[in-house]
Amino acid sequence: MNEFVIFIVEDDPVYGEMLEYRLRLNPDYVVYRYMKGKECLANLYRKPSVITLDYSLPDINGREVLMKIKQQHPEMEILVISSQEDITTAVTFLKEGAYDYFVKDEETLDRLWNSIIKIRENMELKGEVEVLREKLAGKYSAGKTLIGQSPAITKVHSLIERASKTTINVSISGETGSGKELVAQAIHYESARKKKPFVAVNMAAIPRDLLESELFGFEKGAFTGAVARKAGKFEEANGGTLFLDEIAEMEISLQSKLLRVLQEREVTRIGGSETIPLDTRFVVASNRDLSDEVSKGTFREDLFFRLLGLPIHLPPLRERGNDILVLAKHFADEFCKGNSIAKKAFSAGAKDKLMNYHYPGNVRELRAIIELAVVMSDQEQLLADDISFATVNKNKDFLVDDSMTLNDYQRKIIKTYLEKYDNNLIAVAKKLDIGKSTLYRMRQNHEI
């Protein structure tokens, strides 16, 4: 841990010595004492974490010292200690960046001690957050998440690198399970925004009547149930990246509001009047061709061109050749490590079986196949018999069964399509031409 350095800037030698004595009771604190403001400024190279600052100094007033420090080192926390009991003075110091303002009395030492403890705790928490963010940046780098050497995936890596160097919006296309969110995360964590939030929203997973409030947030009392102000996803992602997955599911009326946010770069909470400036990169994804949706009239053309930015297409796993085996080995090694199992090799038969499958569920399905194979294997290597594919025999699945009711068939059909469309209720409702409210009700009643 770095030294925790404290400056005491106090022209009263007796009071200054008392402060220094109290603070040195903690052996972790490195304390320096100065009687003049200019001495403090000249020693800022020592990088103090906290500065206790007297209001009245012989050479330069405390307010000027505070302003000079904050201009050079805004991260340094300053505690003003003064004989001035004027509220206006205290408010002025706090507005200009002081952490706290103490009037000299018998409780000052205790208040100072407690404030420094809080400042140090906050610094440690910030340090932990930075460490976690660095780990995330490493975890979600393209090289670690998008594994493979096929020409198609190499092109994706190249496009991620280009995107991460700028603030251009990005549109990602690809089948379900191909890794669209991983691409979005890699772009964010390899960019200059990596220390800011990455916020992901699955447009298909949120009921349409709630989606606007999720995105825009709302003020207290904006509608029934709005018992407190809530920031929306736009605000949460401010300074960072907002990933809108399954963007094609957004209804036209909400698309126009998203377009305005993109144009104006500001957002207003539902029921509010305050406009909040936004500095957000937008990354969108869909398993449907957005240009086709524009042709059908279900997606706004102007919004399409606003969001298109840098298009990245993720190829399905079946088109990635030997990447299948590279990914299979990675998933096997990862699963074995996480479960304290000796690493498994792949037999020639297992490799052939993996290479000759079509993977309708893409990378997500391959991971599940390999993890199951490791669990079922009793050998040092995975055999062909350990590899099983959970394909659906549609003809067999819907043979007439006199034990089933019409409702049973309805539920079975809906479950099949939910699996096919990755639990996207809106897409299934469109495909089967039934009301989405019916599906929401069935889900609430645990029928699906």
The C-alpha atoms of residue 172 and residue 251 are separated, in whole angstroms, by 19
User: Which of 209, 231, 210, 212 minimizes the C-alpha distance to 220?
Assistant: 231
The domain boundary, picked from 131, 160, 178, lies at 131
Give the best-scoring range by mean pLDDT among 32-41, 78-87, 413-422: 32-41
Are 213 and 304 within one domain?
Answer: yes
Q: Give the whole-angstrom CA distance, residue 96 versus residue 53.
A: 14
The token pair that represents 350 in the structure block: 């297992």
The model carries a pTM of 0.60
Do 26 and 111 belong together in one domain?
Answer: yes
Residue ranges with strand state E in 271-398: 275-277, 281-286, 310-313, 345-346, 381-382
Q: Are residues 113 and 74 in the same domain?
A: yes
Would residue 298 count as lying in a domain?
yes
CA distances from 297 to 38, 58, 178, 301, 424 (A): 68, 74, 27, 8, 21
Asked if 156 and 294 sit in the same domain, the reply is yes
137 within some domain: no
147/275 same-domain check:
yes
Say if residue 133's pLDDT is above 60.
no
Is 244 domain-assigned?
yes
359-365: average pLDDT: 93
At 108, is the pLDDT very low, low, confident or very high (cuts 50, 70, 90)?
confident
pLDDT for 394 equals: 46
> Tokens 């809530």 identify what position?
230
- Sign of CA pseudo-dihedral 436, 439, 445, 446: negative
CATH of the domain at 17: 3.40.50.2300
Please state the rounded mean pLDDT for residues 241-270: 94
Number of Cβ within 10 Å of residue 150's Cβ equals 17
Same domain, 239 and 345: no
Percentage of residues in the chain having pLDDT higher than 70: 93
Q: What's the mean pLDDT in 341-363? A: 94
Tell me: do 179 and 296 sit in the same domain: yes
Band of the pLDDT at 90, cuts 50, 70, 90?
Answer: confident
Residue, of 428 and 158, whose pLDDT is higher: 158
Which secondary-structure segment (H or E) carries 55? none
| Strand residue runs (E) in 250-384 | 266-268, 275-277, 281-286, 310-313, 345-346, 381-382
Judged against a pLDDT cut of 70, whether residue 136 lies above it is answered with: no
Q: Assess whether 190 and 60 both reside in one domain.
A: no
Flag whether pLDDT at 395 surpasses 50.
no
For residues 172 and 135, the answer to whether their CB atoms sit within 8 Å is no
Per-residue pLDDT averaged across 385-389, rounded? 92
Tell me, yes or no, whether 151 lies in a domain.
yes
- In eight-state DSSP terms, residue 239 is T
Contact 250, 207 (CB under 8 A): no
Backbone angles phi, psi at 284, to 5 degrees: -120, 160
The pLDDT of residue 132 is 64
Residues 437 and 421 in one domain: yes
Which of 265, 288, 313 is the last residue before a domain boundary?
313
What confidence tier does 441 reach under pLDDT thresholds 50, 70, 90? confident
Range of the domain at 280: 142-313
Answer yes or no: is 370 within a domain: yes
Query: What would the mean pLDDT of 381-398 be, rounded to a whole number?
Result: 72
Domain boundary, last residue among 96, 131, 166:
131
DSSP string, 115-152: HHHHHHHHHHHHHHHHHHHHHHHHHTSHHHHS---SHH
Q: Are the CB atoms for 153 and 159 separated by under 8 Å?
A: no
State pLDDT tens for residues 288-297: 999 999 999 9
Q: Which domain CATH number covers 274?
A: 3.40.50.300
Got the DSSP string for 332-345?
Answer: HHHHHHHTT----E
Average pLDDT over residues 154-163: 94
Phi, psi values for residue 14, rounded to 5°: -70, -50
The mean predicted confidence, pLDDT, of the chain is 88
**Across 36-40, 92-96, 408-412, least confident range:** 408-412
Contact residues for 267 (Cβ-Cβ < 8 A; gap 6+): 216, 217, 232, 234, 235, 261, 275, 276, 278
**Residue 378 maps to which CATH number?**
1.10.8.60
Query: In the prediction, which pLDDT does 396 show?
Result: 47
Task: Determine, yes or no, domain membership for 136.
Answer: no
Asked whether residue 227 is domain-assigned, the answer is: yes
pLDDT of residue 84: 75
Neighbours of 335 (CB within 10 A): 19
Q: Are residue 236 and residue 165 in the same domain, yes or no? A: yes
- 69 occurs within a structural domain: yes
Query: Do residues 83 and 121 share a domain?
Result: yes
Q: Which of 11-25, 89-103, 312-326 has the lowest mean pLDDT?
A: 89-103
Do 208 and 80 fall into the same domain?
no
Give the count of domains, the chain: 4
436-439: list long-range contacts, CB under 8 Å, 24+ apart.
436/208, 439/414
Do the Cβ atoms of 250 and 258 come closer than 8 Å? yes
What is the per-residue pLDDT for 259?
96
Q: What is the dihedral of CA 333, 335, 337, 343, to 10 degrees?
A: -40
The pLDDT of 275-286, averaged and rounded, is 95
